[in-house]
Structure 1
Amino acid sequence: MTGMLDHLIIMPILLPLVSGAVMLLLDERRRTLKAGIGIVTTVTLLIVSIILLRQADMPLAGTGGSAVKVYQLGNWPAPFGIVLVLDRLSALMLVLTSVLGIASLLYALARWHRAGPRFHTIFQLQLMGLNGAFLTGDLFNLFVFFEVLLAASYGLVLHGGGVMRVRAGLTYIAINLTGSFLFLIGASLAYGATGTLNMADLARRVPTLASSDATMFAASAAVLGTAFLLKAGAWPLNFWLPTTYAAASAPSAAMFAIMSKLGVYVILRLWTLIFGTEASSLAGFGGEWLLFGGMLTIVFGTAGILASQSLTRLAGCSVLVSSGTLIAAIGTGSGAVIGSALFYLVSSTLGISALFLLVELVERLRDPGADVLAVTMEAYGEGDEDYPEDEVGVAIPATVALLGGSFIACTLLLAGLPPLAGFIGKFGMMAAMLKMDGPAVQPSTWILIGLLTASGLATVIAMTRTGISSFWARMDDSVPRVRVIEMAPVLCLLLLCLGLTVAGGPAMRYMEATTQALQTPQDYVTGVLSAPRAGSREGGSGP
């Protein structure tokens, strides 16, 4: 049984890869079969991810920490072979990805999976790339999984066609190709300076680098950081994000909410692992840039929220505020702030994804026929695709009440107001910021607290303005058709946020334990580099 559990680490990568390959062989007209395979795969991913989360949170006997689980592909130990590494942070991101995957896929089954070819295969490859990026233990394979998920995201951005979507998609592709080029340059410089790309081995070698090599590695870190910040949507590299996310279909945009967090994840992982207190002259490298860059991102996103004339663009700008908050929290270097930021990461990602799914449903209040036009040229640009206009499912009773209640819940989540989980995350960050500087609070801390407050106020203003025009100032009393399979994912995501509020204590304990592990990178380094090969009880020091 233990051996089977050990192999679970690779399942979040293998399951969507095999599922996507099988569906690629099926005729495109067999959409029902493909949908069934996709649902089974995604639900299985969630079950596996929850099991891995429980494994990652198991305390070691006699210690307060947890073991780092290492999976050696080909039974070659690090740093010579490819390794997958499971800890609390990667397990958390796996569960979050699986939850969003199920919600987005269920929503797409109402209509969107028929709006273009190979949707299910592309969707599974997207999940594979995300899961692989969260689990990989070296920079080279991080680049590989980045390219897999980006290639899949290109297809999801363009899914459904239309001039607006194609225009935004081409910009998105060009920007991400630039980011991939920077990633390659940064990884090459890092290998030239250290002779390795394994993350744990990098953390071991950086403190011993000569002055010239340390300078080269700092340059490589700056280039890599630029690539990751571009993906996270940090200012001034985020001009493409609101337009692209607004143009994408609702289920695609809901999944993209976790893609921006991938950039934040990599920054948090590498910054705490390599540039901790043991990094000698490079300790804390780039921390101030993260802090002030995050604050500028919040300013840009807040201005975008106030200026948004559509709900989709407002949701895209909310992604910027979320990313900026997380980047600034990492830049503070405080474990307590980062722990609360991880709580905020989960709640804001769930809330933004729910909003992206909800936007299309709310828009139907303005035009009763928009449920048919949502995947045609009038809703998303000029196109000549012929999509089915038959009514799918049944209308939900009390549709307007459900939409209005969900809209209010999204507002509370994104603004960080009680009683939902967004308030716990924001309040925890602010309280930790006031304590981290001692009696004399730094001006930058006050500025960040002010920006977090202002961004929440801006969200309330913008969402209230949109809510009034959508629910109270309607020209007619017609009720749009909202299908159960469309409304259920939105409600489930919001209920998860409510559950996160109710279970705030255990959830925050997990986040604090995750942060504590991140701030003691020697456990990660030892766990990866000393992991025994299969069939051996000795540490793996070489092939």
Structure 2
Amino acid sequence: MNLGQHLIVAPILIPLVVGALLLLLDERQRFAKAMIGLASTIALFAVALALFRFAGDIDGPETAREGVYLLGNWAAPFGIVLVVDRLSALMLVLAATLAIPALVYALARWHTAGTHFHSLYQFLLMGLNGAFLTGDLFNLFVFFEVMLAASYGLLLHGSGLLRVKAGLHYIAINLAAALLFLIGVSLIYGVTGTLNMADLAVRAATVGPEQRMLLEAGAGILGVAFLIKAGMWPLNFWLPPAYTAASAPVAGIFAILSKVGVYVVLRLSLLVFGEGSSPSAGFGLEVLLIGGVATMIFGAIGVLASQALGHLAGFSVLVSSGTLLTAIGMSGSGITTGALFYLVSSTLTISAFFMLIELVERGQDAGASVLAVTMEVYGDADADDEIEEGGDGVALPGTMAVLGTCFAACGILLAGLPPLSGFVAKFAILSAMLDPIGGDSPATVAPHIWFIIFIIIFSGLSALIAMTRSGIRTFWASMEGTEPRVLVIEVAPVLLLILATLFLTVQAGPVMRYMDATARALATPHQYIDAVLDARRAGPSGAEVPQ
């Protein structure tokens, strides 16, 4: 095993070690803690890029490969394995891309609003990266819980009545999801005798009919746990209030948490219940399709009904999750390609939007905000009592112009209008739905496909209407609004994320080829399975030894 392969464990070790180290520093050493945390996050981004290149270059699908790291030098399926492939490398890069702007934004004021912010932030990144890299279900549960435990603290960071209310709901629903996770994993292990994902894919195809019902029941219960996290209707009532109550940088990094559930559903549905799993092939896809469409409808209605920008962003998360779950449920390689592009674009957009909202609302009169949202029946407007809103910032020249441009860009991206990446992603998904065969002659499109296409377009129209209405109220007809006082390190992260979506637009061709290669690899997982099960232990001198 060469040095490059040891990088696979680095996205877990770096935040673990740094987060523990930061716990030893006194809270009065905030500058030192901030610089150490920022250096750690930048290092994670560099490692993620290296693993991205290792798994397959963006323009070189023929170089794709899976990297397997045997923790404790125990061979699969008995030992713990970490696996990096195109999909996990993509998620690592996306998480690191969100982590840096969100942390920089927090350095302006939010990291001082409570204790141990930087340690919690690093542990959250550790849980995220571990969930993307792990190759077995039990350690997926471990990293899932690490991520959730850190997110509990981050959601409550800064205190406030709304955060406490939303935090209690968030904790309760995620504890219930964790219980379902354990029940599902137990049933799967009882039937197959393994929790290694690659080994599970092999054994699932050989399970007899008398035990297949238990296997599918365990998979269904496990799926419910992740669909709760993904925000599928009707399991998503907790998500908009929780994400809205979180501080701006925390909501910015939370934008990827729902995608963890989507990632696991995509991974397991194609790996364990793909075409090679005989009677269980395609298990649960109908539920994902129907639930995804229902989630889109619920999210679109919520977007239209939201008067406060925070709730608009929260329901936009549901629209994003619903679109992705619908695409997974339709189970086509071309649709998956567009869905992966949409996953990246929508996550970047929503993260930028959450952070932009605080800057935009900083210049509005508090009384006007209360009147605009008519209290939203969510409680008092005291979420940010603890932070001085006007003391640290300066009124930058053309601040409203910059914020207005960013707001318009977010609106275009959320609505899926040309020319930005949101349009490219939705166009790819809709094109694959209309031509699932990918041939020269058009295929017959089923009526339910036309209904799904209508819902996707309707969700974009809902975002356009809501963003236009909010933009007019905020920038053109605000009640006694003032020039918001912001810091450069608050505006720069938003601009950086929007520029990332612009990069996706300009480089749509190469990025789409990478997504297509990823989708094809997921649809034919034999290379992933062989890489894990054939991984050799390292000998005393670093040479591989037989199993």
Same fold (TM over 0.5): yes
Asked if 1:177 corresponds to 2:179, the answer is no
Q: Distance in 1 between matches of 2:346 and 2:384?
A: 33
Deviation, 1:67, is: 1.5
Look up the match of 2:371.
Answer: none
Q: Distance in 2 between matches of 1:241 and 1:8?
A: 34
Asked if 1:509 corresponds to 2:508, the answer is no
Aligned residue identity for 2:67 = K
Deviation, 1:478, is: 3.2
Equivalent of 2:468 in 464, 469, 472: 464
Asked if 1:446 corresponds to 2:450, the answer is yes
Deviation, 1:367, is: 2.8
Aligned residue identity for 2:276 = E
Asked if 1:195 corresponds to 2:198, the answer is no
Q: Distance in 1 between matches of 2:346 and 2:476?
A: 26
Equivalent of 1:140 in 128, 135, 138: 138
Identity %: 59
Aligned residue identity for 1:503 = Q
Correspondences of 1:341-360 after superposition (within 5 Å): 341-360=339-358
Q: Distance in 2 between matches of 1:494 and 1:141?
A: 34
Aligned residue identity for 1:408 = A
Q: Deviations over 1:172-218 (max 9, x none)?
A: 00000000000000000000010000000000101111112211100
Seen in structure 2, the aligned counterparts of structure 1 residues 188 and 471 have a Cα distance that, compared at 3 Å, is same
Look up the match of 2:204.
Answer: 206
Look up the match of 1:118.
Answer: 116
After alignment, is 174-183 or 63-72 more displaced? 63-72
Seen in structure 2, the aligned counterparts of structure 1 residues 508 and 540 have a Cα distance that, compared at 3 Å, is farther
Equivalent of 1:218 in 216, 223, 248: 216
Q: Distance in 2 between matches of 1:190 and 1:12?
A: 28
Unaligned residue ranges in structure 2 (runs of 5+): 369-378
Match of 1:83, SS? strand
Look up the match of 1:38.
Answer: 37
Q: Distance in 2 between matches of 1:294 and 1:540?
A: 46
Aligned residue identity for 1:432 = A
Look up the match of 1:426.
Answer: 426
Correspondences of 1:276-291 after superposition (within 5 Å): 276-291=274-289
Aligned residue identity for 1:227 = A
Deviation, 1:382, is: 8.6
Look up the match of 1:491.
Answer: 495
Q: Distance in 2 between matches of 1:540 and 1:422?
A: 49
Q: Distance in 1 between matches of 2:260 and 2:397?
A: 38
The answer (yes or no) to whether the contact 2:158–2:384 under 8 Å persists in 1 is no
Correspondences of 1:60-75 after superposition (within 5 Å): 64=62, 66-75=64-73
Q: Deviations over 1:28-87 (max 9, x none)?
A: 11100000001100011001100100000059x9x9362210000011111010000000
After alignment, is 469-478 or 140-149 more displaced? 469-478
Q: Distance in 2 between matches of 1:382 and 1:88?
A: 40
Equivalent of 1:333 in 331, 334, 352: 331
Unaligned residue ranges in structure 1 (runs of 5+): 371-376
Deviation, 1:448, is: 1.0
Equivalent of 1:103 in 101, 104, 111: 101
Q: Distance in 1 between matches of 2:134 and 2:481?
A: 53
Q: Distance in 1 between matches of 2:297 and 2:25?
A: 48
The answer (yes or no) to whether the contact 2:162–2:380 under 8 Å persists in 1 is no
The answer (yes or no) to whether the contact 1:305–1:458 under 8 Å persists in 2 is yes
Q: Distance in 2 between matches of 1:66 and 1:160?
A: 44
Q: Distance in 1 between matches of 2:388 and 2:338?
A: 46
Q: Distance in 1 between matches of 2:115 and 2:6?
A: 33
Q: Distance in 2 between matches of 1:475 and 1:231?
A: 38
Aligned residue identity for 1:409 = A
Aligned residue identity for 1:467 = G
Q: Distance in 2 between matches of 1:55 and 1:382?
A: 43
Asked if 1:57 corresponds to 2:61, the answer is no
Q: Distance in 2 between matches of 1:379 and 1:486?
A: 22
Aligned residue identity for 2:361 = E
The answer (yes or no) to whether the contact 1:104–1:255 under 8 Å persists in 2 is yes
| TM-score for the superposition, normalised by structure 2 | 0.94
Q: Distance in 2 between matches of 1:540 and 1:262?
A: 35
Q: Distance in 1 between matches of 2:196 and 2:188?
A: 10
Let me know the Cα RMSD of the aligned residues.
2.0
Q: Deviations over 1:324-350 (max 9, x none)?
A: 000000110100000110000000000
Q: Deviations over 1:129-179 (max 9, x none)?
A: 000000000000000000000000000111111111100000000000000
Q: Distance in 1 between matches of 2:390 and 2:477?
A: 29
Look up the match of 2:374.
Answer: none
Deviation, 1:378, is: 7.9
The answer (yes or no) to whether the contact 2:245–2:383 under 8 Å persists in 1 is no
Q: Distance in 1 between matches of 2:546 and 2:26?
A: 46
